[in-house]
Amino acid sequence: MLTITEQNIRPVRQDDVAEISLLEETSFNDPYPSYFLSELARDHPDTFLVLTLNNEIVAYGVVDHWEDHDHLISIAVRPDSRRKGFGERLLIELERRLSKERPLELEVRQSNLAAIQLYSKRGFTKTGTAEGYYGDGEDAIIMEKRLVKETLVES
């Protein structure tokens, strides 16, 4: 029997925060608290996205706007949905929604090789290391991508 899966990327809603908090807790050793996720959802309606399968959240990503750059705060995919391209789809959609004149920066655990590989594939480069960045003392790799403004070329 053929099962049809409906996949959708949409802006976060406040009533998504509880489900996102559970996803955050299953994805990270030092998860963001739900109040922080709720603030991000309120403050960044255009750059806090969820990916749903059959109306169930399986991934989310959020970008914050800092003074001199955009900052990928977090991207997470439910463990049973990883390695299926959902994180990359979210990242592509987030990039599409950002100003093309500002760099996009992020921190990633040095042990998170799958994430580092994804970011490298999407054009991010390592710009530094933050020693002891995470609560357990692990270093973070700092990565950046310079988004370029797309221009139409008439022929």
Q: What is the tens place of the pLDDT at every residue in 72-112?
A: 999 999 988 888 889 999 999 999 988 778 899 999 999 99
Active-site choice (67, 119, 133, 150): 119
- Residues of the chain with pLDDT below 50 are 1-2, 152, 155
The verdict on whether 107 is a catalytic residue reads: yes
Give the pLDDT of residue 126.
Answer: 96
State the number of CA atoms in the 13 A half-sphere of 94 facing the CB: 33
Closest listed residue to residue 88, CA positions, set 128, 33, 137, 51:
51
Length of the chain as a residue count: 155
The confidence score (pLDDT) of residue 5 equals 66
What is the reported pLDDT for 3? 53
Give yes or no: 119 in active site: yes
The one catalytic residue in 19, 107, 133, 134 is: 107
The per-residue pLDDT for 41 is: 93
Q: Which domains does the chain show, CATH number per domain?
A: 7-146 (3.40.630.30)
User: Six-digit token pair at 140?
Assistant: 């973070």
The pLDDT of residue 91 is 93
pTM, two decimal places: 0.86
Specify the DSSP element, H or E, that contains 60.
strand 56-65
What is the C-alpha separation between 125 and 106, in angstroms, rounded? Answer: 10
Q: Token pair for residue 81? A: 């949905």
Would you say 72 and 61 are in contact if contact means Cβ atoms under 8 Å apart? yes
For residue 150 the two structure tokens come to 């797309």
pLDDT score recorded for residue 131: 95
